[in-house]
Structure 1
Amino acid sequence: MTAPAPSRLSRLLAMVPYFLAHPGTSADEAAADLGVTPKEVMADLNQLWMCGLPGYTPGDLIDLDFSEESIQVTFSAGIDRPLRLTPTEASVLLVALRALIDMRGVLDPGAARRAIAKVERAVGSARDAGDPSGPMEAGESSHAGESAENVDVSASVAAVRDAVRGSHAVWIRYYSASRDAVSERIVDPVRIVAVDGNSYLEGWCRQSAGIRLFRLDRIDEARVLDEPAAVPDEPDPEATLALFNADPQLPTALITIDPSVAWVMDYYLIEPLDDVAATATDTPIRARMTYGSEDWLTRFVLGFGGRIRLMNAPGAAAEVTRRAAAALAAYDGPTG
């Protein structure tokens, strides 16, 4: 398998030490060493010329003397020196790494914990024993109070991450909250994305014949297939992250939402029909909701105790009324 080309950021970070070690090298020679074209080298040099330390005045920016025949770094802005974090910077980095560990599937938690241990050691708060770059013992945590649930990564999430990394198709058994059902699918993975505190597998679902997002914590089982991923078209990030675009095959219902629970529109397949910002605080919001089954819709509406009401879907509305009446009747029985 051909190794993936380095990202532009990786190239930019490597270029200053490279040209410091090879002063006067040409764009052609640098391109051969860095695995890019001479045109890309010159474009990267023009980008580097505008990079530097905070303040970003001419005295803080990386300075270069370059042409296609000769390239030389005249001021590195410190990029050739090892990074030294201040305590505040280290704290921010540690908080971010621990948050990523809690978001299952976004990254390898073992690698994140090793990075945390290294940062803690660098700022003088790490454990004295052991090499932080080595593997941790079973049950060991990088900081006090981290639960085993956060440290653990299920086999299904690990399989999904392997499929994404290796660009292989993956078979999954998936629980769909909108349909309230479990289905088996074959997905050609694109990437893992984090949205609103949850991690999702984005990929081409062969069953639905379209790009879909699958919450990692709803994947009950996953198995990497011995076939390459085959996504028909390059997905549009804006389109796929217009998260939860409704499946046109799913039914919809008209509902009214009490403003006190308007937050529900951020978590379900709900499209407001009114201008929410312009709606009075005591006026119900009209919306259209996509759902998978009437039984799920019934339970959903009942869970909000009258603050969400059905304007159509007569079958589900009748069942909501029946179950609500039965629940109220239970209070009419003899008391203890």
Structure 2
Amino acid sequence: MAERRKPMQAQDKLAFLLALVPYLMDRDRVSVAEAAEHFGVDQEQLRDAVRLIAVSGIPGETNAYQPGDLFDIAWDDFEENDQIVLTHQVAIDDSPRFSAREAAALIAGLQYLTALPENADRDAIGSLMAKLARGASAAPSQLAVARSETDETLATIRDAVIAGVQLEFDYLSSRGERERRRVDPLRIESVDQDWYLRGWDHLRTAIRTFRLDRIDDLVATEEAITYRPGDVKLPETLFTGTPEDQLVTVEVSASAIPLIEDYIPEGAVREERDGIIRTSVRVAHFHGLKRLVAGLSGVLTVLDPPEARQVVAGWARAGVERYL
């Protein structure tokens, strides 16, 4: 015969009850045996605690307990099947809750995070999404985050990170040059709508950053990575300069400086006048200015050199002509 556990002291019983209530709230249904095992108590002690919860609550405005002021359980399930199902909750209902729209937005964000390689264990994220749905003031809208063109690339990189193997791919640089690269994947980062892979490039024997939409013919090899995240120090900034970079003088709104901080060389002069800052940015190629200017339309102006202005102006004219 199993040894019966000693009765709990009053202080221990209070702590047990305070832990049991949120435990039951987080579960739609749980057996007495499972809950008793979770808390390390006798099953009869667990049943006594559930019966006590069912006569607990918060009095209403009249300071008298009404039926809606008490917890309630599915008694038939409890007495006949040893299953615990809370059918009415109190106290927690008076706490601030996310609206259905807020919960839906958070759930969409969590779905987006499941695409990140560092979130390979997605069970915890799935559990959090379920809790958000249950805890909202109303049922969130059913939604799903649409797949992007980089989803398959992200999935391959995620698998390579987990397996600790090298990647091979064709990469189109900002200069329009295509090369086959072999890389130890270290980190995935996003800036606005673009995704970047940071890793040790065996061709360049250095840390390099690759934009995912410029990667083609990506394959995960069977060769183990040479460098792991703890073996090399990744630069704090996503974009790092090289001696071949070209400097471009620009004027940009002071409020937009944080958006181009990674492009500004260390020690670059910044002249401010009437909320506009004149400074320099480094680019691998003048054609790389197109995306920068497009993202800061009306906020950033290219001043010098003339070749850079011509590239941006020609790109802008080509865009206008498409609508004429």
| Superposition TM-score, scaled by structure 1 size | 0.50
1:185 is paired with a residue of what secondary structure? strand
Q: Deviations over 1:159-183 (max 9, x none)?
A: 100110011001133454x445554
Structure 1: stretches of 5+ with no match in the other structure: 1-58, 60-74, 128-141, 331-335
- Structure 2 CA distance for aligned equivalents of residues 98 and 327 of structure 1: 33
| Corresponding residue to 1:258 among 245, 252, 255 | 252
| Corresponding residue to 2:151 among 140, 149, 154 | 154
CA contact (8 A) 1:97 1:112 kept: no
Structure 2: stretches of 5+ with no match in the other structure: 1-10, 27-91
Q: Deviations over 1:240-267 (max 9, x none)?
A: 2322122x14322231213278358437
Measured after TM superposition, the shift of residue 184 of structure 1 is 3.2
1:258 is paired with a residue of what secondary structure? strand
Measured after TM superposition, the shift of residue 195 of structure 1 is 6.0
1:144 paired with 2:121, answer no
- Structure 2 CA distance for aligned equivalents of residues 112 and 143 of structure 1: 21
- 1:309 paired residue number: 302
- 2:89 paired residue number: none
Measured after TM superposition, the shift of residue 111 of structure 1 is 4.6
Measured after TM superposition, the shift of residue 205 of structure 1 is 1.3
- Structure 1 CA distance for aligned equivalents of residues 205 and 97 of structure 2: 45
CA contact (8 A) 1:310 1:317 kept: yes
Q: Deviations over 1:182-221 (max 9, x none)?
A: 5432111223345667654332111222123334455444
Q: Deviations over 1:275-323 (max 9, x none)?
A: 57xx23344x2323222333444786698579522333x4444555777
Tell me which amino acid in the other structure corresponds to 2:206: G
Q: 1:320 to 1:116 in 2, by over 3 A?
A: closer
CA contact (8 A) 1:255 1:286 kept: yes
- Structure 2 CA distance for aligned equivalents of residues 322 and 200 of structure 1: 27
- 1:210 paired residue number: 206
Identity of aligned residues (%): 23
Q: For 1:1-336, what aligned pairs fall within 5 Å after superposition?
A: 82=23, 91=98, 96=106, 98-103=108-113, 104-106=115-117, 107-108=119-120, 111=123, 114-115=126-127, 118-119=130-131, 123=135, 144-149=142-147, 154-176=151-173, 178-179=174-175, 182-193=178-189, 199-216=195-212, 218-231=214-227, 234-236=231-233, 239-246=234-241, 248-259=242-253, 262-263=256-257, 265-266=259-260, 269-271=263-265, 273-275=268-270, 279-283=272-276, 285-297=277-289, 304=297, 307-312=300-305, 314-317=306-309
Measured after TM superposition, the shift of residue 158 of structure 1 is 0.9
**Max Rg structure:** 2
CA contact (8 A) 1:271 1:287 kept: no
Tell me which amino acid in the other structure corresponds to 2:244: L
Q: 1:323 to 1:169 in 2, by over 3 A?
A: closer
CA contact (8 A) 1:192 1:202 kept: yes
CA contact (8 A) 2:199 2:208 kept: yes
Measured after TM superposition, the shift of residue 156 of structure 1 is 1.6
Q: 1:144 to 1:325 in 2, by over 3 A?
A: closer
CA contact (8 A) 1:156 1:223 kept: no
2:181 is paired with a residue of what secondary structure? strand
2:265 is paired with a residue of what secondary structure? strand
- Structure 1 CA distance for aligned equivalents of residues 161 and 198 of structure 2: 10
Q: Deviations over 1:65-105 (max 9, x none)?
A: xxxxxxxxxx9x969x9496668798588755532432543
Tell me which amino acid in the other structure corresponds to 1:118: A
1:148 is paired with a residue of what secondary structure? coil
1:214 is paired with a residue of what secondary structure? strand
